[in-house]
Structure 1
């Protein structure tokens, strides 16, 4: 027996056998001889992530609404009776964007039990739009305080303020989704986060029609592959009825962006009279940037609007899709449009938030 740690010498005959064995192994791997099976290559496959159901509670245009107010009409912004995973607020949490009203609205939003709370500004959050607020005589200090409130202070309460751009979130269940957010709406009167209707901020310049001006930036462009488009205002002719002789208050550039990226969900508010939900699908070849940008050639096919039983929805704390629509959304291939404005066309808080489930 040799001592531990001592190098053993091998005999010439042993060396010859070892070299011959190595040669056979090498030749077998390079070119198997007749009757020999080639060595199997070991491959590692990654199992696709299994999608998880995610329940979204979608809210918009609460305008300082508090369910503790004496007015009986102000009772629709209540916590839902069913657990939710994500709360989305599409802007106009307040009436004038004051620090006090922002703080109160954020606390109200945070009180809804959910893993994730996301919010964007609307045209009534005037203190958050620096350019507009200062042009109206507002102070830089108040703007800075408002921004601090919706970012740092809100985050401490579990509410995430989304600036314009694309954001990705992963829930504890493993579900992951990408959401595009924007507070901007077409110019109407004097208010925050507004742009001329001829300005296209949502699309690449190659898809902007000749009559419009492309002002898109990397953050304002709606990117391919997003699951959710969350804006304050609606796309053109989609739940955007203003009641003014059939005129739509939505944005045609946003509509073109939705046709281009085809998200699972497009949620918004702003136009109170357009409250509701509606599924759409796209004909093959549509939304690829062809045509002149008009809504008649974008290939979007609109299905009937969802029926809403307002009294039942207010009792539950949410409105929801019909069973048939829920099944259609699970099968995929469609985009759900949701106008979640809690305030109705007469300025009363009679509309319930929307509950939507997506596989993500």
Structure 2
């Protein structure tokens, strides 16, 4: 649930209790109403990309106007401190109010245990970590973060760089481990390793992970599914407005998801997620514009149905590992807050 909806529910009057006649004549409290602290939702433009693999120069030539840039990881190819510096320096120069980055499995120098196992040094790891403080870039560690734009628009985002183990790479974990849910949500065959940081909370607005959830934009091209079952269970439980990711290069695209609470859960692993058809993308048109976006009809349906989640696989590298896919431009209606702390306290 978003901050706007949670505060709105907290202030809903009890219509079943009749108003006392004398109390209605009393002067109203000077405490502000909800509307004085929470304004109507404001449209915020998110530019989403992933797996740029050092191909950022081509993307940054025509960055569309946006409020927030989300990079879902694998912004480098070899993950060295030098590559990390080059990419973050380039992105720091573009004019976007908020630029949020997470690591991917290619950012090996940021994963200390893996980096050292591959011959990296402690000095190299520390150098890479210091680069995360590049001015103009907000690098997010796994966990939930609350962010506010200059306009007062507020959102809560959960991020994670971790993907299931496939070959040898950084930020990977065993597929039988569930890191995104509480233990009572973990199936009997799996091991729960969730922490305060790694469990996705119910009230999150956006989820940004490096890899996809199971059966959603996760086909690597060999007929298998590369997505994560435990992540899917967490998304079905929390129902964020947006879930963006990358990692699977052949999964580029967008897909809306609905939830059917009338659906009967018949066996372990079932959920109430209903997948709508994958959105059509005119790749040539998107390249000319510098971004992809939902078709008008789908955008309107998504905007008018607050119970839907928009899934976006924003890999920039195409099937030939060339930076030919366009980033996604997505508009979300988010609450806007005023910052007078006294007003916020009085809402309770």
- TM score, norm. by length of structure 2: 0.85
Q: Is the 8 A contact 2:81 2:125 kept in 1?
A: no
Residue 26 of structure 2 is matched in structure 1 by 40
Q: 1:339 to 1:77 in 2, by over 3 A?
A: farther
Aligned counterpart in structure 1 of residue 235 of structure 2, from 251, 255, 258: 258
* Aligned pairs (5 A) from 1:69-108: 75-76=58-59, 78-80=61-63, 82-108=64-90
* Aligned pairs (5 A) from 1:1-360: 40-43=26-29, 44=31, 45-47=33-35, 48-67=38-57, 75-76=58-59, 78-80=61-63, 82-150=64-132, 152=133, 154=134, 156=135, 158-244=136-222, 246-284=223-261, 292-294=267-269, 297-331=270-304, 332-360=306-334
CA distance in 2, matches of 1:333, 1:39: 40
Q: 1:78 to 1:313 in 2, by over 3 A?
A: farther
Residue ranges of structure 1 left out of the alignment (5+ in a row) = 1-35, 68-74
What is the CA-CA distance between 1:41 and the residue it aligns to? 5.0
CA distance in 2, matches of 1:184, 1:262: 20
Deviation string 1:178-220 (CA, Å, 9 cap, x unpaired) is: 0000000000000000001000000000100000000011000
Residue 9 of structure 1 is matched in structure 2 by none
C-alpha RMSD over aligned residues: 1.9
Ranges of 4+ aligned residues in structure 1 off by more than 4 Å = 36-39, 290-293
CA distance in 2, matches of 1:97, 1:327: 39
| Greater RCO (Cα-Cα under 8 Å, separation 6 or more) | 2
What is the CA-CA distance between 1:50 and the residue it aligns to? 1.6
CA distance in 2, matches of 1:178, 1:58: 16
- TM score, norm. by length of structure 1: 0.82
The alignment partner of 1:206 has SS state of helix
CA distance in 1, matches of 2:242, 2:95: 22
Q: Is the 8 A contact 2:50 2:245 kept in 1?
A: yes
Q: 1:209 to 1:216 in 2, by over 3 A?
A: same
Q: Is the 8 A contact 1:242 1:271 kept in 2?
A: yes
Deviation string 1:136-165 (CA, Å, 9 cap, x unpaired) is: 221111001100001x2x2x2x10000000
Residue 7 of structure 1 is matched in structure 2 by none
What is the CA-CA distance between 1:131 and the residue it aligns to? 1.0
Higher Cα Rg, which structure:
1
CA distance in 2, matches of 1:302, 1:334: 10
CA distance in 1, matches of 2:279, 2:103: 27
Q: Is the 8 A contact 1:207 1:293 kept in 2?
A: no
The alignment partner of 1:313 has SS state of helix
Deviation string 1:90-116 (CA, Å, 9 cap, x unpaired) is: 000001111121111112222332110
Residue ranges of structure 2 left out of the alignment (5+ in a row) = 1-21, 335-348
Q: 1:95 to 1:136 in 2, by over 3 A?
A: same
